[in-house]
Structure 1
Amino acid sequence: MITKVRSILENSPLTLILVGGLAAFSAYFSMYAFRKPFLAAQFQAVDGWHIDFDFKSALIIAQVIGYTLSKFIGIKVVSEMPSEKRALSILLLVGLSWLALVGFAVLPAPYNLIMMLINGLPLGMIWGLVFAFLEGRKSTEVLTVILSASFIIASGIMKSVGTWLMLTWGITELWMPAISALIFFPLLALSLIGLSCLPPPSIEDELARTKRVPMDKCARKQFVKENFVCLMFLIAAYVFFTALRDIRDNFTTELWQELGYGGQALIFTLSELPITLIALVIIFAMKYVKDNYRAFFLTQTVIIFGALLIAISTFAFESNYIDAVSWMILSGMGLYIAYAPYGALLFDRLLAAKRFAGNAGFIIYLADSAGYAATLSILLAKYFVFDTQNWLSFYIQLSYLTAFMVCVFIVGSILLNTFSSNRFSAQQVTA
């Protein structure tokens, strides 16, 4: 059946986009059910937890440690993964994360903390494995628009699902994460079948975006050596976005409570919908930029715009020009306008512009490993250095810092690629 469907998709670009986009969206959306619902719980007065440290915060740190380790492992695993093993690998990795959630519910505190670390350990590789099905195509922007919608809206939806299970069905905080995940397991399985049906990039795709192949250690070293300074600028900016995004994502409940909107399950979802729409329209528009170097440059300009929107909206909120909901929407819009293009198209276009035979998963995981290591460091700093500061104040200060540093690094990248003697050749990179 898969062979027959693949043949149909090879001869119908529109059908390929519909099937591939929906399957990728569903796969990554489902993964969030295994990662995020626990954030909807408060975990106050947990039996067996006698340490003078917030239990939920300990869970977040444990999962982030696992997720960060996963990103470092993914540099090798994702970049070297053969295409025929991707779907099964995703299923096994997500299955392991679910078993960890069951272990979290069964084991008493504090021993269940290790289960949350194990939960995060396999999930950090899912984005790269899903994105690998889509990269290197002329339709990559369209496909990744659909994929990117998943991680923008999924977190809010999964927290709403978790809240709904606890409030409506009386599911305990400890079992809610495993039950939330189980609900989405059939959708994950169906989506992996869909991804397995996708044909590899065509010859036309390879001419436009370069051939995508697994990268061994030598290929990875060569790419980094040739593009070291450019990668440092881009990854440095990405580090700040990742930290800000993860703080916002992990502590949305606390932020909304401090803003006066606690206990409203739908606030997570409704606030993310306009953010999703605007961010995805911008990514989709890049499809019409055929020249890979020009698309790479324009994407960096969009990133700067997103950073400025974060700073301006935060200043407007602090100055009482806009209310809390408007600020969360506008600052989130700026964050995702800038953050989403990294995994969706910036590195894909960089690879195409350089005409380097490899895969974008390697670059994504270089950036992700640095980003989540920084996130972990910032979390620890918040708890042990800035422990008296509330999350709202901390998030506001981090927003300003992120906006400033991102502008510095991205401007540096643009200047480097504009004036460097090794600048891309526009004649070689037209898609």
Structure 2
Amino acid sequence: MIQLRGSRALHDRLMRASPWVTILFASATSFSVYFCMYAFRKPFTVATYDGLVFGGTGVQLKTALVLGQLFGYALSKYIGIKFCSQLRRENLLVAMLGLIGFAQAALLGFALLPNAWKVAAIFANGLPLGMVWGLAMRYLEGRRATEIMVATLSCSYIFATGAVKDIGHRVLEVGGVDQFWMPFWTGLVFLPPLAVSAWLLDALPQPDLNDQQERSQRSAMTSKDQWSFLAHFSLGLILLSFIYVLLTSFRDFRDNYAADLLHELGLANVPAIFTKVEVVSAITIAFTLAALSFFRHNRHALVATFAIMLTGVVMLGGTTLLFRAQWISGLNWMIFIGLGSYLAYVPYTVLFDRIFAATRASGTSVFAIYLIDSLGYTGSTAIQVYKDLWKAEQSRLEFFQSFSLTLAVVGFVSLWVSGWYFIREERLAREADMLAQPTPGLGNQPAADTTY
């Protein structure tokens, strides 16, 4: 009861605070929640598990562990399509803390269970974690400043993916902790700050009337709402989903095998190398997404968002060609390849928020994001298996370079066509609203909202 009263008191203070205080509060607490979540997900990838294979399959144990968590994470996204979009607002905090507790318990199992069962434990670890982002996003969407808040949320996982690996590396090297116990102890360190951050985030007030007028009201979706949305936007969703599968696979491959790629590039022993590689991307993405909030017209925002994503895929191909020609160093290539992938990948979060606002679709953008996220992580698991079973003769660095060039070409075409589609849908929705307005002199019926 004390915690609930404390949360209500903070909620009331935020209701009376200026909009910028609310923005900064939401940005800081959501950043902290998702940053801490990565401490339960990524540190295990720092260990190399050299010389260990998964049973008699010939698959390296690290690959099996990466795949195990990816399978759990992908399944979590499928569950999240309904769970995150249909969960009531008052249940978000309990759900978030329960998911994190389950993930930490799985890391304990990862440490204690025999090797034959460690893949099952890491699968169980990934199973709840894929839904944490959707619960955090539910607090932020549908606001005039959603892009600023999502910028910090996105910045958190870009920065966290390097920072928690560096912390895990220190636990291994300095603390002398066994590689199978390291993920549990790293997660334990982050458990208290995550719980406090989630409790604070839960005090965030709902979007106000001005938010709802400009970005449309957001609510839990019924199954009928979900099927209606899919049927109406099927072509655009198919195109966006296709490129998102490739982007997720690319980002995950780079993330999970960063230690291996850096080793091949001769950069593995550079101090805090993981953070150095990611910090440029984190800062750039944060400012880029925040800038999108200044587009008051949803059509202009859609154009700008697709332009950013197209820039990202062009950067993937261009910097890879420069690296192959030895015009840039391996470190600069890893930095720019990360920036390019994030420029194409991260804006999906605000893209769907704008699509809902521009087309006046009812429901929550979390549904659309989780739909393509589930497909994305399914594709990511397929890429991991494809590399080990059909491209085993290639090093991970060689495979990654080829992947970069393919994604640049396919991604540019897919994003260009899908951008045209959704900008056209925005125009059709705007014209429908104009037709729905009452004719002057025929009464004082309320006009449909035309804030675009």
2:361 pairs with 356, 363, 368, which one? 356
Who is 1:386 aligned against? 391
Q: Output the TM-score relative to the length of structure 1.
A: 0.97
- Per the alignment, residue 135 of structure 1 pairs with 141
- The alpha-carbon deviation at position 422 of structure 1 amounts to 6.7
Identical counterparts, % of pairs: 34
Q: Give me the CA root mean square deviation.
A: 1.6
User: What is the alpha-carbon distance in structure 2 between the residues aligned to residue 242 and residue 50 of structure 1?
Assistant: 29
Output the CA distance in 2 between the equivalents of 1:54 and 1:39: 13
Residue in structure 2 matched with residue 369 of structure 1 by the alignment? 374
Give 2:407's aligned residue.
402
How many Å apart are 1:429 and its aligned residue? Answer: 5.5
Structure 1 residues 157 and 223, CA gap change in structure 2 (3 angstroms): same
| Displacement of 1:419 | 5.1
In structure 2, what residue type is equivalent to 1:297? Answer: V
- Counterpart of 1:137, as a letter, is R
Query: Which of 252, 256, 266 is 1:260 aligned to?
Result: 266
Q: Distance in 1 between matches of 2:204 and 2:450?
A: 25
Measure the CA separation in 2 of the matches of 1:43 and 1:413: 42
SS at match of 1:33: helix
Instruction: Go from structure 1 to structure 2 and tell me whether the alpha carbon gap of 1:218 and 1:424 turns closer, same or farther (over 3 Å shift).
Output: same
Alpha-carbon displacement from aligned partner over 1:133-173 (angstroms, at most 9, x marks no partner) = 00001111111111111111111111101110011110110
Given the superposition, is the C-alpha separation of residues 421 and 242 from structure 1 closer, same or farther in structure 2, using an over 3 Å criterion? closer
Query: What's the counterpart of residue 95 of structure 1?
Result: 101
1:246 aligns with 2:247: no
- Matched-pair contact (CA < 8 Å) for 2:303–2:423: no
Q: How does 1:17-416 map to 2 (within 5 A)?
A: 17-46=23-52, 52-343=58-349, 345-416=350-421
Q: Distance between the aligned counterparts of 2:423 and 2:98, measured in 1?
A: 44
Q: How many residues align?
A: 430
Give the distance between the partners of 2:323 and 2:333, measured in 1 at CA.
6
Aligned partners of 1:93 and 1:122 also within 8 Å: yes
**Structure 1 SS opposite 2:347:** helix
Partner-residue secondary structure (3-state), 2:40: coil
Query: How far apart are the structure 1 equivalents of 2:425 and 2:7?
Result: 47
Deviation at 1:210, TM superposition (A): 0.6
Alpha-carbon distance, 1:421 to partner? 9.7
Tell me how far apart the structure 2 counterparts of residues 123 and 317 of structure 1 sit (CA, whole Å): 35
Could you tell me how far 1:114 is from its partner in structure 2?
Answer: 0.3
- The residue identity in structure 2 corresponding to 1:362 is F
> What is the alpha-carbon distance in structure 2 between the residues aligned to residue 47 and residue 383 of structure 1?
12
Once residues 80 and 201 of structure 1 are traced to their aligned partners in structure 2, the CA distance between those partners, rounded to angstroms, is 18
Q: What is the identity, as a one-letter code, of the residue corresponding to 1:342?
A: Y
Higher mean Cα deviation, 38-47 or 306-315? 38-47
CA contact (8 A) 1:292 1:429 kept: no
Structure 2: runs of 5 or more not aligned? 1-5, 435-448
- The verdict on how the C-alpha distance between 1:367 and 1:234 changes in structure 2, with shifts beyond 3 A counting, is same
1:54-108 C-alpha deviation (Å, 9 max, x unpaired): 1111100110010111111111111101111111101101110111110010011
Match of 1:9 among 11, 14, 37: 14
2:451 is aligned with 1:430: yes
Aligned-pair CA distance for 1:262: 1.6
Check conservation: 2:54, 2:64, Cα contact below 8 A: no
Q: Which runs of 5+ in 1 are unaligned?
A: none
Give, as a single letter, the amino acid of the residue that structure 2 aligns with 1:286. Answer: L
Tell me the CA shift for residue 46 of structure 1: 4.8
Task: Confirm or deny: 8 A CA contact 1:74 1:365 kept in the other structure.
Answer: yes
2:439 alignment partner in structure 1:
none
TM superposition shift of 1:414: 2.4
CA apart distance, 1:224 = 0.8
Per-residue deviation at 1:387? Answer: 1.2
The worse-fitting range, judged by mean Cα deviation, of 233-242 and 390-399 is 233-242
Q: Distance in 2 between matches of 1:392 and 1:88?
A: 42
Q: Structure 2 length normalisation: TM-score? A: 0.92
